Amino acid sequence: MAYKRYAKKNGKVYGPYYYESYRENGVVKKIYIGQKDSAAAVVPRRNLFLLWAFIFALAALILIFGLISLSSTGKVTLQTQPSYGLNEFIGGQISLSIEQGDSVQKDTQMVLIFSKDNHVLVETTMTLEEFLGSQINYVEITNDSISCINTTVSSNQEVCSEVTTPGETTEVCNSSPQEVCHDEQTENGTIQVCTTEYVQVCENVTSGGTTDLVCSNQTIETEQENCTSSTATDFYYQTPGTYSNEISDFLNYQLSNAGNYVLKFKIPSLGVSDTSKFSVSGPSEPEAPGKSGFLRLSPGRRILSVAAEMQRAKHWLGRGDGEEARRCYARALELMDRCCETLAGKPNMLREYRRWREWAGGLYLGDYHPRGEREALERALLWLHPESWRALTIPRIPPGKTGGRAS
């Protein structure tokens, strides 16, 4: 039941205040409703609780589904088989979607991470330009910008002011007559009697004095805004569509051990990624202590890994980045050193590997990288193993035509 009450204070009446009475466990209690019309419907406390519970549950569902939709971008997709057999190579595709309105820089780095039991076996990178190749063309975008800074500029200016030199001051006194009157009482009454008195009046008189214009040089500091304009040119991919590439373009890996593997592809600058998990079944080959993923490759695949670094160096030289090309050469030499470690008991093959490394080392240390010598070095590398030579469709050139090979 609802009822109203009034409050009286200092002769003033306040209200009405509406209350609702209800019974709980046999005890009558009341709850304050507010200053509203008594005819308005009163919502029981239990119904209010259910209403608020429903509102909170709805808000939680909206938040959860919102987070799910935000975390799934759909821009990259990694597709592999659910399982592989021993000694198979990882196959599958990597897909990238460029949507309408997207603008992706061509130098964007793409990363592929291959791991097993939370241990990274191989991590390789590729630029978006290398990934897309000739599938689409990038566009040139030029941005003009203006930057301004405030600088303090000092200058000498002539500043003039009037300077007054005071003259000589003397006191000049003059006597002037002044009539002084007063009243006197006589037999005939009050009469006014006036007499003339002389009063001396003095004043200061200044004579002479000059006003001159005095000028001097002063340093004046003023704030000046200096603005410079700059033009930045970059290249972006903007054509909408889905573009794919083989995983083998990123990673050539022979699965020689059974277990569960994880392959993760990501583009850090875009904040997108995708993960694929698969298993390898069959008896595992015993793994030597400290044996890395590179050493688990077949000899021909190791040579192809070295050749991949040489191709990256060629790419960076084409773009005029000699420092990045030098890093690729250093990585190729490091991989070749690891290849030589596996040739114990094969002196003839080890000698050929070392001869190639000596030749490549000269190219790494030099500042000039002639194209003919680089191509000859790559062909000589692929000839080191039949598997690496068969993997690429390169015109065969007789060994005598390779060009200046170090001996």
Residues 38-66: tens digit of each pLDDT: 444 444 455 556 777 778 777 766 655 44
Q: Phi/psi at 239 (nearest 5 deg)?
A: -75, 120
Sign of CA dihedral 290, 342, 114, 84: negative
Sign of CA dihedral 32, 34, 38, 40: negative
Predicted confidence (pLDDT) at residue 280 exceeds the cutoff of 50:
yes
Decide: 83 and 280 in contact? Cβ < 8 Å: yes
pLDDT confidence of residue 156: 82
* Amino acid at site 78: L
Largest CA distance in the chain: 168
Mean pLDDT confidence for 209-237:
81
The answer, yes or no, to whether the previous bond of 16 is cis (omega within 30 of 0) is yes
Mean pLDDT confidence for 93-117:
89
User: Which of 243, 246, 252, 244 is CA-nearest to residue 114?
Assistant: 252
Q: Phi/psi at 234 (nearest 5 deg)?
A: -140, 175
pLDDT confidence of residue 369: 66
pLDDT confidence of residue 391: 61
pLDDT range class, residue 13, cuts 50, 70, 90: low
Predicted confidence (pLDDT) at residue 72 exceeds the cutoff of 60:
no
Predicted confidence (pLDDT) at residue 404 exceeds the cutoff of 50:
no
Could you tell me which residue, 254 or 275, shows the higher pLDDT? 275
Predicted confidence (pLDDT) at residue 403 exceeds the cutoff of 60:
no
Q: Are strands 210-237 and 139-165 parallel, antiparallel or unpaired?
A: antiparallel
Does the predicted TM-score (pTM) go above 0.85? no
pLDDT confidence of residue 402: 38
Helical ranges in 35-192 per DSSP H: 45-71, 128-132
Mean pLDDT confidence for 180-209:
78
DSSP 11: T
pLDDT confidence of residue 288: 44
pLDDT confidence of residue 264: 93
pLDDT confidence of residue 38: 42
Lowest-confidence pick of 76-80, 272-276, 309-313 = 309-313
Sole residue written with tokens 């030579």: 389
Burial class (CB in 10 A: 0-12, 13-18, 19+), 146: exposed
Average pLDDT, the chain: 76
Q: Where in the chain is the domain with CATH 2.60.40.10?
A: 73-138+238-286
Predicted confidence (pLDDT) at residue 405 exceeds the cutoff of 70:
no
C-alpha 277/C-alpha 140 separation (Å) is: 38
C-alpha 59/C-alpha 195 separation (Å) is: 111
Sole residue written with tokens 């373009």: 249
The half-sphere exposure of 267 on its side-chain side, counting CA atoms within 13 A, is: 23
C-alpha 59/C-alpha 91 separation (Å) is: 44
Mean pLDDT confidence for 339-367:
83
Lowest-confidence pick of 82-86, 137-141, 178-182, 366-370 = 366-370
- 3-class SS at 303? helix
Predicted confidence (pLDDT) at residue 133 exceeds the cutoff of 70:
yes
pLDDT confidence of residue 267: 92
Q: How many CB atoms neighbour CB 250 within 10 A?
A: 23
pLDDT confidence of residue 143: 76
Mean pLDDT confidence for 209-221:
80
Measuring CA to CA, how many Å separate 207 from each of 30, 55, 142, 162, 166? Answer: 101, 97, 79, 19, 9
Mean pLDDT confidence for 351-356:
88
Mean pLDDT confidence for 166-195:
79
Q: Any idea which fold 73-138+238-286 has?
A: Immunoglobulin-like (2.60.40)
Q: Which helix (H) or strand (E) holds 85?
A: strand 83-85
Predicted confidence (pLDDT) at residue 262 exceeds the cutoff of 90:
yes
Contacts of range 353-360, beta carbons closer than 8 Å, 24 or more positions apart: 353/384, 355/405, 355/406, 355/407, 356/380, 356/381, 356/384, 357/333, 358/406, 359/405, 359/406, 360/329, 360/332, 360/333, 360/336
pLDDT confidence of residue 113: 92
Predicted confidence (pLDDT) at residue 152 exceeds the cutoff of 60:
yes
pLDDT confidence of residue 319: 79
- 3-class SS at 72? coil
Percentage of the chain with pLDDT > 90?
Answer: 5
Predicted confidence (pLDDT) at residue 398 exceeds the cutoff of 60:
no
pLDDT range class, residue 263, cuts 50, 70, 90: very high
User: Which of 253, 245, 279 is CA-nearest to residue 76?
Assistant: 245
Q: What angle do CA 61, 66, 67 make, to 5 degrees?
A: 105
Decide: 153 and 131 in contact? Cβ < 8 Å: no
Decide: 337 and 361 in contact? Cβ < 8 Å: no
Decide: 388 and 382 in contact? Cβ < 8 Å: yes
Q: Phi/psi at 49 (nearest 5 deg)?
A: -60, -45
